[in-house]
Chains A and B, each alone.
Chain A
Amino acid sequence: MLLDFKTHEESIAMAISFMEGNEAIARAAVEAGCRFFAGYPITPATTIYQYMLKLLPPRGGVCLQGEDEIASIGFCLGASMAGMKAMTATSGPGISLYSEQISFAVGSEIPLVIVDVQRLGPSTGSATKGADGDIQFLRWGNSGGLPVIVLCPVDVRDCFVLTVLAFNLAEQFRCPVFIAANKEIAMTRESIDLEDLPLPEPVDRRYSPAGQLFMPFHVAADRQVPDFLPLGADRIVRQTSSTHGEDGYITLDGEHIRKSQERLKEKLAASVPAFTYYAADRVDDPRILVVVYGVTARSAKVAVRRLREQGEQVALLVLKTLWPVPEALIRYHLAGVKKVVVVEMNMGQYVREIERLAGAQKVTFFGQMNGELISPEQIAAAVMS
């Protein structure tokens, strides 16, 4: 699905809003049907919690402040298992604390949206400086190493659209879905035309049809995801973080375990084409392909425009689905180019995936971790070096 930049001509509107990415995420969550939020204050994610605290209680929803990040995400898991659409938001240090609970959501198929408003690390790092330093961490920060979905917004508009999509994917695939935001989007206010937002229709998890015996992890032959019933349903529901059989009890059956693990991997890996979100700016016979994501895409767009004015055949690919890697999309854009330039607000993370797919094609990397945006000039120089 192409989530492209609007051109100037298309963007003339009569009523414009002005908001930061965090507000867009909170408002979109409510639009998507989120009725439960729990979080622990942390810059630069705090304002998501503050907005949810204003938005949810008057609607009969629940917004809680946990005693720490582990509790906050734990509350969300409990609420999600009771059938509520739930979201939590934090930054890198909080993702570290979420880790064990993320593994629970992955392995036990608990729908949840997790916002990581990235800040400069390592560790407590710089609370008010932006970075994209958690990109591999989000993918691999769970025990067991099964895939997760990570969506990455470029601007406030994406914060809206991708948040709704994140809820839909969490519901559809029963899994945690990350929004890899960045302080530079989350806390930057921006004008946005809300009348021109292509918000998707909310999707709900599939409930077990009435009148059937309920096996909490039974997956029909033609499906990839078990039907859901909430804890508290008339039929008894079991949920467990342990390796389980269809009945939700611990199993030692190696063959069943193997199949389950493969299904948990394949339900996401095989479906990536259905949720490959991106923006692309192609040229005929591109010589160079610039691959970016997040706020850096905005600088790359300027850089590519300038390079083209200088006669360079440069194409741009902006990834908005980072995990699982949208391999088909990337391969398509890699085809025929002489050089690939990957630019990231870190010391080189997603470039590993591009190198893997590029094979013999030359891949160069430019990255920076100093709390500052990478400028169009830096990208142009990196492309031409």
Chain B
Amino acid sequence: MTSLLNRERPSAFCPGCCHDKAVHALDKALQVMALPGNRVAIVSDIGCSGLFDTFFHTHALHGLHGRALTYATGLKMARPDLTVIAVMGDGGLGIGGAHVLSACRRNVDITLLVLNNFNYGMTGGQCSITTPESAQTASGFLNQLEMPMDICKVAEAAGAPYVARAMAHHKDLPDGMEKAMTYNGFAVLDIWGLCPGRYLKRNQLTLQQLEKEMAKQHQPGGIIPRNERPEYAGRYFQLAKDQKTAPAMRSVEVRFDTSFSGRREILLLGAAGQRINTAGELLCLAAITAGLHATQKNDYPITVLRGHSISEVVLSSAPIDYTGLQAPGAVLALSPEGVNRREKVFASLDSAALVIKTKGLGIPATAAKVVEVDFKGRAIQRADWALAGLAVLARMGLIITADMLTAAIECRFDRNPRERALAVAAGMAQAM
């Protein structure tokens, strides 16, 4: 096959730079794989390694420091047929650490070539996450304080199914690259090399010494059997096609005459587990069956299984502009958690307002008419009190009718939950 090197832009790294070896090794590997340039995408980011893509006649995406794997992941998910190669330096490895870990455990078929020269070459030779503690760097004494990170150990621990190490100057680098690229999954190749422009200016280091150093390290051999598993994109599309089609937007048939004219505000005050949110929705759906406009806002703490649960509902015969509550016409008070959260509202209610409260629940003084209902005594489960409260409203001929509530339940629920909700509403209506 022909070379994919960019004839108009020959490699321009410093003389003796290990990155130049990596460029030529990748070209050889791509030739062996017989890939045309338009089937390959090289994704690079910042630092000397970021020049990499410009030396090839392939698709290229060059982005922000440490983020090469983010673009590569989106690209590969959108175009699984492309051979996607991410190139990062040891600098990018550090700043993009979260992406490296996630790429290892995600296992999208991307090859990550780490051009590891143990320092930030482009900005003057500062220490990186792979710099030895004993090295001299432009970071002064700071690298003495931090341990270098072994990317191979980290990648293995994070779940990469293919991890290998290579020397940039070795003649087996093209072979190592080819093996990594042909592996169907996330493959990491940690390529060690010398940075003559910066690192060697301050440190005595020969290729032989570097090879000896590598020999002392953990030696990953490519495929990591315990991490092997199906590749992400292939698995994603397999699982995705079996997902249930999302339900279409539910619409409510307008079938009743409007039950009132003007605006009504209803406040549902309860606790987690009382299905306050669902009751608020049912109230709105009931109103919609009569051609009314409706808005609903819910308020609950992040601990969804504990604490208050509040729903603010506005119903109106005209389109609703302001969605805040100003003068609630009805309050459903079902638990101390909800009442305490909105205790100020009770003093603001006028004599035309209605409070439906569960028996025994203390509420602040109010001018509103208070109706007490013994939900518990009627053997209604706590989770159904809010729904039962709506049935009380309907029975009293306020805001909604029993038919509207029935229609809302039929719209909102299927099968068993529907029968159950209808039974609660009907039981409450009869009991009144």
Q: Are A78 and B74 in contact (CB under 8 A)?
A: yes
CB distance from A319 to the nearest CB of B (A): 17
Q: Are B324 and A15 in contact (CB under 8 A)?
A: no
**Interface SS of chain A:** mixed
By a CB distance below 8 angstroms, the chain B residues around A101 are: 63-64, 67, 70
Given known A-B contacts A74-B73, A78-B73, A62 and B251 have beta carbons under 8 A apart:
no
Given known A-B contacts A16-B288, A78-B73, A188 and B38 have beta carbons under 8 A apart:
no
In the complex, whether B320 has a CB less than 8 A from a CB of chain A is yes
Give CA–CA (A271, B229) in the complex, Å. 50
Give CA–CA (A352, B295) in the complex, Å. 32
Give CA–CA (A239, B60) in the complex, Å. 6
Choose, from A51-59, A115-123, A320-328, the stretch at the interface.
A51-59
By a CB distance below 8 angstroms, the chain B residues around A43 are: 302
A-B contact count (CB 8 A): 229
Q: Are B73 and A231 in contact (CB under 8 A)?
A: no
Q: Are B74 and A18 in contact (CB under 8 A)?
A: no
Q: Are A17 and B246 in contact (CB under 8 A)?
A: no
Identify B38's interface contact among A11, A14, A235, CB under 8 A: A235
Identify A194's interface contact among B69, B237, B249, B321, CB under 8 A: B249
Give CA–CA (A230, B63) in the complex, Å. 16
Q: Are B322 and A375 in contact (CB under 8 A)?
A: yes
Give CA–CA (A194, B318) in the complex, Å. 17
CB distance from B2 to the nearest CB of A (A): 14
Q: Are B71 and A78 in contact (CB under 8 A)?
A: yes
Closest to B321 in A: A298
In the complex, whether A307 has a CB less than 8 A from a CB of chain B is no
Give CA–CA (A188, B299) in the complex, Å. 10
Closest to B408 in A: A18
Q: Are B101 and A373 in contact (CB under 8 A)?
A: no
Choose, from B76-84, B159-167, B193-201, B392-400, the stretch at the interface.
B76-84
In the complex, whether B41 has a CB less than 8 A from a CB of chain A is yes
Choose, from B14-22, B51-59, B180-188, B346-354, the stretch at the interface.
B51-59
Q: Are A67 and B252 in contact (CB under 8 A)?
A: no
Binding site for B on A (CB under 8 A): 5-6, 8, 11-19, 27, 36, 38, 43, 51, 54-55, 57-58, 60, 62, 64, 66-68, 70-71, 73-84, 86, 100-101, 104, 127-128, 184, 187-191, 194, 230-242, 248-250, 295, 298-299, 301-302, 372-373, 375-376
Binding site for A on B (CB under 8 A): 9, 37-38, 41, 43, 53-54, 57-64, 67, 69-79, 81-82, 98-99, 101-102, 236-237, 239-241, 243-246, 249-254, 281, 284-285, 287-288, 291-299, 302, 317-324, 326
